[in-house]
Amino acid sequence: MNALRADHRKGTFFLVWGFLLWLAATVIFHFLGDWMIEAGNWLKIVISFVAAVPLIYGCTLPVYAALHIPPAERLHCAACIALPGMLLDIFSLPFHRTVFPTLADNSIPLLAAWLLWAYSLILASGLIFKK
């Protein structure tokens, strides 16, 4: 019974962590979106995509280690991190003019691609096992 409660607490923690990461990314893109992703400016786009790798792994792998998450449970935790943002972005992207006012309409597909990239990295972090 205690193991079940501990698993539930871990799942809840990672769902909340995922929500907080989504909120932080949304606020950053709300205010700095045009600085980070601009259609036609491939240097900004490449830098944003490349910068996402250490950023995402810095927000996931150390947390797994700090909470002593065994490798077999990391994919579940990664899914819990990604899920809130994936669900909330269903609403943020259609209302992009309000949520991301600094981004031009032609930059929204690039933002959507960046979000898919970030969620893929989060899920991939659950597959990285430290030996």
Q: pLDDT for 22-69, tens place per residue?
A: 999 999 999 999 999 999 999 999 999 999 999 999 999 999 999 999
Identify the band that residue 1 occupies on the pLDDT scale cut at 50, 70 and 90: low
Alpha carbon distance 116, 121 (integer Å): 9
pTM score, two decimals?
0.92
Predicted confidence band at 6 (pLDDT cuts at 50, 70, 90)?
A: low
Report the Cα 106 to chain-centroid distance in Å.
Answer: 22
Look up tokens 């809130």; give the residue: 84
pLDDT in tens, 56-111: 999 999 999 999 999 999 999 999 999 999 999 999 999 999 999 999 999 999 99
Report which secondary-structure segment, H or E, holds 107: none
Six token digits for residue 17: 């962590």
Residue with tokens 């923690």: 13
**What span, in angstroms and rounded, lies between the C-alpha atoms of 113 and 86?**
12
Q: What are phi and psi of 15, to 5 degrees?
A: -65, -45
DSSP assignment of 31-98 equals HHHHHH--TT-HHHHHHHHHHHHHHHHHHHHHHHHHTT--HHHHHHHHHHHHHHHHHHHHHHTTTHHH
Cα–Cα distance for residue pair 26/19, rounded to 1 Å:
10
The residues spanned by each domain of the chain are 15-125
